[in-house]
Copies of this chain bind each other. A is one copy, B any other.
Amino acid sequence: MLDGKKVSEELLIDIKKDISKLYYKLGLSVILVGDKKDSIFYVNSLKKYCERLNIKFFLKQFNKNISLNDLIKEIDILNNDDSIHGILIQSPLPLSLKKNEKEIFNSICPKKDIDGVNIYNAGKLFLNNDIQFIPCTALGCLELLDYYDINVEGLNVVVLGASNVIGLPLSILLLQRGATVTICHIKTKDVKSHTINADLLISCCGVAKLVENDWIKQDAIIIDVGINFLDNKLVGDVNFDSVKDKCKYITPVPGGVGPMTITMLFKQLII
């Protein structure tokens, strides 16, 4: 089991130590637009982490009807506030702003873009040019592999899902580490013909229990990034019970990539 919960707890001890060495108090600002229940739940959990790590937590909550201009003005205030070292925009944005998501992301000052969502940080990642901030879930997957000493060089990696926040950056980072990477997505024909050859399979496509026993090869390593609700239960993209005896390693859901993602946010806040 790739135990993200355990690993992230260990990492948080180091992060707390690093924070205690700073001569000023770190500040994290989270922007929440609207009042979606899941989002509020997540933001509250971030707040608790901040208390634990002695980080000043600034919640900026806005009505879901806020205009694009007003939101960008608010972000700019945070960009110019020296007591704030990182800015996180809580996803998803309300439908009215979804189409402007990229513009909103790009309005975050690159130095405070601790979730690596803006063009400048994406360009650095893509070109492997002085990489600074990496989307937290992608970084969390890498840290988990590192913790368990899984060297991806020369491995056949198949990534299910090509999103800007997970699938794509993770694919590029794995390539930079010497993996051979295949990126599959909704338009892929016969996904199984790819996954069956994967030494490392990463699923971040958001389809509950998509990956079954006959999709994977013996002793595959599986990272399940999916967070799906099925019959009121949290499940991943992988049918855990179906694959658990065939794979070499697997991340559980919950308790796998999820806790790593939050932890990476704080790791990057220190940067």
Contact = CB atoms under 8 A, between A and B. Distances in A.
Interface of A: 102, 106, 118-130, 153-154, 156, 162, 164, 168, 171-172, 175, 178-185, 187-189, 193-194, 197
A175 B180 contact: no
B194 A180 contact: yes
A128 B165 CA distance: 12
A199 to B, nearest CB: 9
B194 A185 contact: no
Nearest to A153: B187
A102 B127 contact: yes
Nearest to A121: B123
A205 to B, nearest CB: 13
A194 B183 CA distance: 13
A121 B129 CA distance: 13
B188 A180 contact: yes
Given A119-B124, A123-B121, A129-B119, A180 B187 contact: yes
Contacts of A171: 183
Contact of A180 (B168, B178, B185): B185
Task: Across the A-B interface, give the 4 residue pairs with the lowest CB-CB distance, nearest first.
Answer: A123-B123, A119-B123, A182-B182, A178-B187
Contact of A120 (B119, B175, B184): B119
Majority SS of interface residues in chain A? mixed
A172 B168 contact: yes
A183 B171 CA distance: 10
Contacts of A187: 153-154, 178-180
A191 B119 CA distance: 33
B188 A154 contact: yes
Contacts of A180: 182-185, 187-189, 194
Contacts of A183: 171, 175, 180-182
A223 B121 CA distance: 31
A126 B178 contact: no
Nearest to A183: B181
Contacts of A153: 187
Given A119-B124, A120-B123, A168-B175, 10 more contacts: A118-B123, A120-B120, A121-B123, A125-B126, A156-B189, A178-B187, A180-B183, A180-B184, A181-B182, A182-B182
A209 to B, nearest CB: 22
A184 B172 CA distance: 12
